[in-house]
Every structure is written in structure tokens, then in C-alpha cells.
Amino acid sequence: MLNKYRLSAVSEIPSPVKASTTAQIYSFSPPSAAESPAPSASKTARKRKRAASDSNKENTPLGTDQGPSKRAYTPRKSTQEKLETVFGAISSVSWSLSEFLYHTFRTKDQNGAKIHRSDQHAKYAQNFLQGASTYSAAMVLDEWFRSPDGHPSDNDNMYTTATPYVEIRPVRAALTSFAAQITQAKLLKEAKSAVKPESGLHVSSRKRGEQKMQWADIGAATVSRVSEIIKKHQPLTWELLMAIATSDRQSRTGAEVEQRRPPDMVCTHVISALDFARNNEARLLPLARGLLYFAFSAPADLFAYGSRVGEMPAYSTISRALSDLSAHEADLIRVHASDPNTCGAVQIDNVQNYLLQRDMRIGRENRMNVGIAGIYVELDGAGVDPAAYDLDDKRKRLAENLRAELTPEKVLNLLDQDHIECVGQTHWLGALVNSVPQLAFMKRNVSHRFRTQCARLRIPVHATKVHPMASSGKKETISTELKDALVDFLSQMGSKARQYVRKLVLVGGDGMTYEKVIQLKCYMQFHGDPFESFELLEAALSAWHAEWTDLSRNYETHWDSILSQDPSTLGHSAAQVGRSAPPNLQKVDYYPCAEFMYLVLDVRMLDCWRNHFECSNLFKYFENCATANKLPTFEELEAIALTLYRTFSTTRAHYRALDNKGGTSEWAKNVPLGSLWTPPPKDETSLFGPRPASQPKPRTSKGKGNTHTAPKNDTKGNDAKEKPPFVGDRVLANSIAFMRDAIISREMSYAIAEGDVGRVYEVMKVMLFTFAGSSHSKYTNYLLETICNLEYESGPALRDAILKSMLVNLTGREGSFSAADFIQEFFNRLLEAIVEKKGVEYGAKFIREVVSRNLHHFARIKLDMRNGVGLEK
């Protein structure tokens, strides 16, 4: 029986094996009672064979010639029978199932030496482990995990990482712990790879760090860059956390669901914090978040909390990083400014805030904290010729003293009347096409006209490099302190006494700064050295402050009163739309007042267009024209705009309105005559003095948006002779003057945005005359000095350089230019907010070496970091 059992067991091996190998494998001692199969197993098999043979014989029809007898095949064994056979074989060698499996897949002995395996042994193991068998290893593991036979008595070791999985006996606990521990090992390996210096997460603030941090590393692309690094070096970590962060709905449908907290953004920040906790130098995203907090002047407690939980570095680390970044910015300014082949300009302005002492002690009092801030602007991309900064050429032109021959007629002849008319005509077109929907397709024509026919000297569209400089605690109103501040700014540019580049330095500023720099040059002119005498300084008047002052002049001239009955005044228009009066007409708030003045200008211009087309509703008129396909062409509108400009927005039209003799002039033919108008009676109860002598009531006429005032007697005493009757229209004349001035103001804004400094200069020439006689008479002197300097004391290259230094473009987009002093004001607001919060002076070391030079980056990352996480909308 034993021999037969051995032969049956060997017959189950699918591939041939040598007899010696078979005898070696299956030689064994008698099986133990525990693991040997039942003795009746082989008997049962033989009985089944005989039964099958007998059945075949019985089913053979009688009388049929069977011929030679055929061999009977052994029927296929059931799964249970095969298992019993295998178990019997295992028992026959005194092995348990665990010993069989262990030795089947074991490749090394206890000494680590490789175990020699037969071909059949290796083939069986390889087919199973590689999934070539009918049932893969994963299917076997799944059965192990779900089998009730392996259910542990307790769940203490389920998914544990504390106990090595090889020491856990129950299969279910061993499998879960095995999965947890190899996953943990993989995550640790990924983390080690991610925090290596070459991975890209390292940014060092130390002088000898692996990767020196720069502001270019911080921006809108920082989050996406960190995300790509994590996906590359920590793919399993990313997938596991994404599975946790992804909602069930998104996991079930597989579609992208708009969420307030996108999983990829959350996982990027979480993994970045984990890597930062593992390695203090892997802090690209945490440091960016810390700089963002610093830019928003977050409280120090938030930095401490964020550092504790790994969201950002400590405040001292961020401050040290900003100090290093500031030093790098200082190097950029010094290298660029000290290069004779580069072009740059300095823009300075005063900064101030009220320093309120919360802890009053001896020597501490509330005071105005005053300082001077500046920016350095690179002009290489603006097309400025470095030869324009030639000091010798400037000296030669000053020696000619051409300004001594200047007369008002010469200044008046400097005005380009054709250009002014072209610009005014285009603004009339813009008011119409920007307001009428049916003409919106002509906006591109108006824009093209501004950039071609009206163009004078356009700056090439490029992103201007602007570098804020270290602020000074000096006062610009005191000449000695202004001198110290200028020496400080020059030293930041690499210029010192007897150590400077012999070329001009453009210094721009508002009216006060411009005046003080010129005065200081006069005071220092007797010093022999160009640096000590400030002969190197070339003062330039800033554009935006001139525009702002002109806006205030317009309000002071045309406002009158909020209770005014004169429809030509801004005060009357403000009352009609519910706007309040500015608190100070001599210095109005720029944005709301500019918006309202341009609104009134557009309304009055549209009313003139309505009068020309002789309709009561301009928008309905063009709607009907569009329906009938009879819209006027752009060329037709150009001709009409020229007529309207000459009639309602020129100085000549202003005088025509005041001196319209019987309406016989050519100008009067374009102005419709209205009906008689009687002024409202005065409220006698409001009169506190005796009534003036009775005068004949003025006869006026009004119609179609224009008003003509009838003659009025004007007497001086009883003996004065009666003057000729006044036949003009003062209301219309005042309205024309307002539209003329408002168009000039708007042209200044448009020219600055377009980057056309030639148009800006033409407007400044006009403002020279409009400021004369106003309360802002200082700007008459400033503009006259500027015009004399540009026209008679500067060569063409220097004139273009001074004009181009007035404008900057931080974005590099078309139509996004700004005045340099406007950008300076923007940085001033950021600096003043930080100084006020810190309660320090503008000359303090912290402000100069940590804050000032990084201001433009603070402003940038506030937007970039929001855009980086999808909050740009």
C-alpha cells in the first residue's frame, strides 16, 4: 500500500522528474496521525474506478462486437481529492503546511547563503509569484485575509507599525501590519528623496546655503512648482493624501467638483509642511507663506504659532531672509547705477505718519514721523541712449544761456496746435463710441487713432524694473537734511565723493521735491567737485502730481457751489446726481473727483452730439440708425467731432461765446439759439442788507443744451457811461472752458496709460498757461523751469531720457503705464503702514535693511500667492 501511495503522489507532478530526485523528495518516515490522510482515501479511489468500468460494460449493447478491449482512463479527481493527496504527501515527509510554504519560497538559508533549488522547484515558485499560475498570489492573500480560520482572538496587532510583521503569528494581523509597515518604509524613502537639496524644495537664507534664495523663487508659480516636486519625489504620499482629501462624490463620479478647498492645493501645503518638519531647509512653500504673512503685517503671535505647527519658519528666520533679499536688491541697484553703459533714474518723495505714543514717558511725545523714500528705475528697456547722460554736453548747453532770450510768445509758439486739435477731436470720438452700444465696434479705431495720428514719443512696451531704495529719516523741507538724504541715495547707487561715475543722475519728484533739489543745486554750485556741488543731479518734474494739481485747479475754477444755479458749474452737476462737495477744493481726492469730472465731461459732450444730430434721445437715434442700417461711418464721425471740438472745447470758442455779436460769426452758426429764459426770483427773506438799485432784468435765451445771455447794464456810479450791451453767453463760455480743461486733464491720463511721454509733454505745455493766475501759481514756475530745461538746456537724447523717466510699466502690458511718482506713492503707502504699525522711524535699521527694498515684492506676492491657489477671480 505504501508503494502504491507513493506512485499516486508522484503522478500528480505535471513535469517529469528523475527517479533519484523523486525518491529523495518523497522519502519519509511514517506520517504522523495529525497530518497523514485517512487510509481509506486510496481504497475509495480504486472502488470508483471499478464502478466506472462496470458501468461501461453494462451499457454496452448485447450482441455487439466489442473488438479488442480499450484501456479505461482514470476519472478526474475533485478539488478535495487533490487536496487530500497533497496533504498526504506533506504528511509523508513530516512537514506542516507552514513548513511546506516556507521552504517552497525560501531563497536563502540562515547564513544568508543562496539555496540551490531544482528546476521544478524554481519553476513552481516563479510561476506562482509572477502570477503565471491559475490563481495569483494576490488571490491567495485575499483568501487568507478573509478566512475565518485566521481571525485573531484580539485586534491589538492589526495595522501596527510597532511590532515587526514577521513576529506576528495570526495571518490577518500579519498581513495588515505588513502592508502598513512597507507603506511606511516607502513613504519615508520618498520623504528622504524629497528633502534632498537637489530636489528643489531647499531655499537657504545663509550665505553658504545649498541654494541661495531669491525673490524669483516666490510668486504665483511657487505652489504649482512645489506640487510638481512632490508628485515627482513622493508619488505614493501624494496619492494617499489625495484619496483622503477627495470627497466621496468626486471619488465616485471621477469628475472635477468645484470646491472651496481643492484637494491638490490642500495636499501640496500639507506635504510641504511635513517635509519642512523633517528638514528645516526644505521650506520653499512655508517660507513663501511666511513672507506673505509679513507682507500683510500679520501679528508676531501668528508667526510663532505657524512656526510651531510647521506652516512657516520662525519670525527671526523670515526677517533674516528678508535682510538677505534686501542686500541682494541693494547689489542690483549699485551694479546697474554704477555702470556707465546703463540708464536709470531716481524718484523720491516724502513719507510721513503720525507717531502716537501709547506709553507716555519723559522724552516720548506724539509727533509727526517724517522721512524720504525713493525708487530706482532702470530705463534700458525704454530706449534711452546712455550718451544722454553726458555731463560735458549739459555744461555746454547751460553756458549758452538760451533761457535769457525766452519770451511769452516763444513759449506760446512751443505749443503744437495741430496735435492738440487732433487729440481733442479723438476724445470727442471716444466719448461717443464708448457710450453708444451700436458704435462699440469703432473703439478699436479710436484706440488706433490715439496710437498713430496722436502719437508723439511712445515708450516701447516692456516690463520696467523698479527697485525701492532704503528709506531715509531726513526731512526734504530742510535743505541740509535733504542734502544728507541725496548723498545717502547716491551712495546706494555706488556714487561717493571721489568715487563716482561721471554721468548725470536723473532725480524726479513732486513740485516741492523738484523745487528743493533745484535750490540745493544753487546753494552747492560753488563746490569744485561735480558730486559735492550736485552738478550730477538732473531734476525732473513728476507727471502725476502735476495732473493731480491740475485736477484740483479745475475743481477750484469750475465748482462754484453745491447750491449753484449755474448749469455750467461742477457744483450744479454734483447736486443733480447727488454727489457731495470736496472738503478742500485746493487739494481734492484724486480718484472720486477725477471720475466725476470725466463723467460730467462725457455727458456734456454727448449732449453736444445730440444737438448736432437734432434728436431728443441720442441712444434711441443710433438704435434706429442701426435698425435701418444707416449708421454713420467713422470718417463721417471724425469730421463731426472736429467741428464739435472747435465749437465747444477750445479757447477760441470760449471767447466767441463771450463776444457773439448778433450771432454773425462762423462759430455761432454751429451753436443753436435757444428760447428766452428768466432767472428764478430771489428769496427776499434771505437778504440781510438793503436791496441794491433796481436793474433791468437780463434777457436770455435757452435751447438745445446751450444758453445765450441777453445784454445787461453795468454801471459804475451815477456818472458812468452806459457800456455796450453784452451779447455773449457767459454760461456757455464757462461750460466751454470747463470742457477744454477737462479734455486736457483726461488727455494727461490717457497719455500716461499709453506710455506716450511726447503727449504728456504737450499737455504740460498747455498746463503752463492754465496754471497761470490760479492759486497753484507755483506749478507755473515748475512747468516753466521744466520747459526751459528741456527745450534750451538739454540735447534731444537727454530730453527724451528725462521724459521717459516719468513713466514705468510694472506689468509689461499694452496700456498699463503709470507715472513713476504714482508708483512711488503706492510704495509709500505700504511703507507708511509698516512704519506706523512698528512705531519706528523711517531711518531705523529694520526699515532700511529689511522692509524698504522689498516693498515691491511685498506688493507682488500679495497678488501672486492668491493667484497661485486659484483666487485671482
* Max mean pLDDT range (59-63, 156-160, 516-520): 516-520
For residue 366, the 8-state DSSP code is -
Listed range (359-373, 487-501, 538-552, 823-837) with the worst mean pLDDT: 359-373
For residue 728, the 8-state DSSP code is S
In DSSP notation, 812-870 reads --TT--EEHHHHHHHHHHHHHHHHHHHT--TTSHHIIIIIGGGHHHHHHHHHHHHHHTT
pLDDT of 207-217, one tens digit each?
A: 554 456 788 88
In DSSP notation, 94-153 reads T--HHHHHHHHH--B-TTSPBPP--HHHHHHHHHHHTT-SSS-HHHHHHHHHH-GGG--S
Q: Which three cell numbers stand for residue 722?
A: 452806459
Note the pLDDT of residue 814: 93
pLDDT at 346 over 80: yes
pLDDT at 424 over 80: yes
How confident is residue 260, by pLDDT bands cut at 50, 70 and 90? Answer: confident
Question: Looking at per-residue confidence, does 58 or 261 come out higher?
Answer: 261
Question: Looking at per-residue confidence, does 287 or 39 come out higher?
Answer: 287
pLDDT at 12 over 90: no
Question: Looking at per-residue confidence, does 852 or 46 come out higher?
Answer: 852
Average pLDDT over residues 458-476: 94
pLDDT at 832 over 70: yes
Contacts of 495 (CB under 8 A, 6+ apart): 337, 338, 501, 505, 531, 536
Helical packing angle, 2-10 and 40-58, nearest 10°: 70
pLDDT of 719-769, one tens digit each?
A: 556 667 667 788 999 999 999 999 999 999 999 999 999 999 999 999 999
pLDDT at 564 over 70: yes
Residue 469, number of CB atoms within 10 A of its CB: 25
How confident is residue 842, by pLDDT bands cut at 50, 70 and 90? Answer: very high
Note the pLDDT of residue 20: 37
Delimit the domains of the chain by residue range: 195-326
Average pLDDT over residues 436-441: 95
Instruction: Answer yes or no: are the C-beta atoms of 135 and 127 closer than 8 Å.
Output: no
How confident is residue 106, by pLDDT bands cut at 50, 70 and 90? Answer: confident
Helical packing angle, 590-613 and 417-433, nearest 10°: 80
pLDDT at 104 over 90: no
pLDDT of 699-708, one tens digit each?
A: 333 333 444 4
Average pLDDT over residues 476-492: 95
pLDDT of 20-51, one tens digit each?
A: 333 333 333 333 333 334 444 444 445 455 54
Note the pLDDT of residue 556: 95
Q: Which three cell numbers stand for residue 442?
A: 469703432
pLDDT of 145-198, one tens digit each?
A: 888 887 766 667 888 888 898 888 888 888 889 999 999 999 999 999 999 988
Q: Name which of 649, 675, 672, 663 is nearest 735 in CA terms.
A: 649
In DSSP notation, 160-172 reads -SSS-GGG--SHH
- Torsion sign, CA atoms 350, 586, 552, 801: negative
Instruction: Answer yes or no: are the C-beta atoms of 828 and 349 closer than 8 Å.
Output: yes
For residue 367, the 8-state DSSP code is E
Note the pLDDT of residue 267: 94
CA distance 125 to 684: 118
Instruction: Answer yes or no: are the C-beta atoms of 69 and 60 closer than 8 Å.
Output: no
Q: With pLDDT > 70 as the criterion, what percentage of the chain qualifies?
A: 82
Per-state percent for the chain, helix, strand, coil, to nearest 5 = 55, 5, 35
Q: With pLDDT > 90 as the criterion, what percentage of the chain qualifies?
A: 59
Note the pLDDT of residue 269: 94
Residue 425, number of CB atoms within 10 A of its CB: 23
Listed range (124-138, 612-626, 677-691, 738-752) with the worst mean pLDDT: 677-691
- Residue at 728: amino acid letter: G
Note the pLDDT of residue 211: 58
CA distance 587 to 80: 102
Instruction: Answer yes or no: are the C-beta atoms of 831 and 851 closer than 8 Å.
Output: yes
Q: What average pLDDT is seen over the chain?
A: 84
